[in-house]
Amino acid sequence: MTPRPLTITGGRLVLAHGAPQPGALRVEQGRIAALGDVAPQPGDDVLDAKGALIAPGLVDLGVFAIDKPAFHFGGITRAALMPDQGPPLDHPARVRFAAQSGKPDMWVHPLAAATRGLEGAELAELALMRDAGARAVATGRRWIADSGVVHRLMSYCAMLGLVLVTHAEDAGIAGSAVATAGEMATRLGLPSAPAEAEALAVARDLALAEMTGCRLHFRQVTTAAALALVRAAKARGVMVTAGVTPAHFMLSDLELAHFRTFCRLSPPLRSEADRQAVIAAIVDGTIDVIASGHDPRGAEDKRLPFADAEPGMAGAETLLPLTLTLVRDGAMDLTRAFTLLAGNPASLLGVPAGRLEVGLEADLALVDPERPWIVDRSKMAATAGNTPFDRRPVEGRVTALFKGGARIA
């Protein structure tokens, strides 16, 4: 059922340009009908935002599990689901089922597996999966080593108008590494690989994207060398975008000191110099998307020796407050933060959301950017609390969440 018209008053609108400005927002038929100096109409439901930010709901590009309570807590209204499922999203029927799995209170946008079984060999039925609801194509957790396969893959994606989301880590160099080569990995005796494993993968994929005209998105770029390659490619007109998760602009490999398996991530945590390079890339626009990388892992995957633990973190609930630390540090403003969290990922997925604009879906979040709270893995809404930010004080909390104008949290 279509919800009644809604007018949210007394808030600060986070628009695509400029600082948040006082105003109201009206929703009708599930879409934004008016912004700014708006008065409720007879029959409207009216909500007083009480000075909170009225912002677009977050669009989380590249999650590994649909975890609605965690997404709702974190202000996420749309999630792009990675194809690494059981079984993989390499068939139109599975993509169609995944696209329906979020109803009624979540938008789920499946990413089609690039190859059958995510094995990196035979291309999957990309066109049929696009027609079944896939919003992009993804290589999954792994980089495809065969350049011939990737060339064909990018050619098809360019022809079909699909973005290719790729994992940037040369497996021939990375092997079974669980850490970045350096002093910390040496001290702990952990299997490690040089940071250049990422740059090698990025360089190859950029060359093929430039050759084929494919729109390429690196889900995570975490090293200075790889970011320099992306920056240069953008300057010469390659259709490339890059993402990162908060872990790689908040943490360095020093966090591995006590073999903390919650810090076992893919790609692994990098040096402090690389962490600073990620922040600089966010500031200068080289990085286009900040995503949670949400990958809840239970005790059976994490209570193991570091080298045996599975990578991943539960990131949905901390995505917004950790990104807001960059705002408080002066690295960017609120408008830029929500562009990275919502506007840009929505554009990559081709969905009518991610911005406060008349005619777009009314996926909205009311946010108190200064509300303090402490991350507590034992109290997280996620199915598992494997966060490297446990016990960290943060600021920024979603106070209300709407999907298509209907309140969901």
Q: Which CATH class is domain 58-354?
A: alpha beta
d(CA 36, CA 187): 57
Interval 143-201: pLDDT, tens:
999 999 999 999 999 999 999 999 999 999 999 999 999 999 999 999 999 999 999 99
Q: How would you classify the pairing of strands 240-244 and 289-290?
A: parallel
Q: Give pLDDT < 70 ranges for the chain.
A: 1-2
Q: Please give the pLDDT value at position 365.
A: 98
Q: Please give the pLDDT value at position 1.
A: 59
Q: Please give the pLDDT value at position 3.
A: 79
3-state secondary structure of 105: coil
How far, in Å, are 36, 64, 242, 244 from residue 231 at the CA level? 36, 27, 10, 15
Question: How is the chain split into domains, by residue range?
Answer: 58-354
d(CA 168, CA 375): 29
Query: Residue 358: what are its φ and ψ, rounded to 5°?
Result: -55, 130
Contact 256, 278 (CB under 8 A): no
Side-chain half-sphere exposure of 120, counting CA atoms within 13 A = 12
User: Please, which residues bridge with residue 352 across strands?
Assistant: none
First to last CA, the chain: 18
Sequence-separated (6 or more) residues with CB below 8 Å from residue 278: 221, 222, 227, 244, 248, 249, 270, 287
